[in-house]
Amino acid sequence: MSVKEKVFDFIETESQHQEFEECLNNLQGVQGGQMPALQEAQRIYGYLPVEVLERISKKLDVPLEKLYSTATFYSQFTFVPKGKYTISVCMGTACYVKGAGDILDSYATSLKIKPGETTPDRKFTLESVRCIGACGLAPVITVNEEVYGRLTKKKGDKVLVTYLNQE
């Protein structure tokens, strides 16, 4: 996992808070409890906010750096939240030469984030990915599981608009 500099404002709902507190209470005194605690935090919050890590540290009596060391080891954990929609722009050679770079730039400008980042409202995460093996459809993007191929900058913007209009 990678550690990004940009820190998000930590927001949590009452139900998230309660659910996680309950988890922590159940894990108090359990040997090796920090792994399930991290996994639950990742599930409930979608990432590991430092505020939550501090809570785990206090409740389970594990030093913060220990938690950090564990969390950075496993690919399941992230320190930045993922958006509701992850837009992955294929930057394989075929897609690149067909203008994938322009599409990526256009998304970055529209969403005001760089590749690898998430919008502050946590709706979108933008990623550039290696060849996804759909060169015949180049250039290709995926939004979560959905694949969009044979795009142009204009068509790509249209795809974004449909998601911007969704919840």
- What residues form the annotated binding site for [2Fe-2S] cluster? 90, 95, 131, 135
Longest CA–CA separation in the chain, Å = 57
Cα–Cα distance, 96 to 105 (Å, whole number): 12
Is residue 93 within the footprint of another protein (CB under 8 A)? yes
Nearest distance from C-beta of residue 51 to another protein, angstroms: 20
Is residue 76 within the footprint of another protein (CB under 8 A)? yes
**The only residue of 32, 65, 145, 166 in contact with another protein, by rule CB under 8 A:** 32
Span near another protein by CB under 8 A; candidates 12-20, 29-37, 44-52, 114-122: 29-37
Cα–Cα distance, 26 to 111 (Å, whole number): 40
**The only residue of 81, 98, 104, 118 in contact with another protein, by rule CB under 8 A:** 98
Is residue 86 within the footprint of another protein (CB under 8 A)? no
Buried b or exposed e, range 105-133, using 16+ CB within 10 angstroms? ebbbeebebebebbbeebebbbbbbeebe
Question: By the 8 A CB rule, do 99 and 153 touch?
Answer: yes
Nearest distance from C-beta of residue 124 to another protein, angstroms: 23
Give how far Cα 164 sits from Cα of 139, 146, 161, Å: 21, 15, 5
Nearest distance from C-beta of residue 164 to another protein, angstroms: 28
Residues β-bridged to residue 89: 128, 141
Nearest distance from C-beta of residue 155 to another protein, angstroms: 16
Residue with tokens 């659910």: 19
What would the x/- binding string for another protein be over residues 49 to 68, using CB under 8 A? -------------x------
Residues that bind another protein (CB under 8 A): 31-36, 38-39, 62, 69-70, 73-77, 93-95, 97-98, 135-136, 138
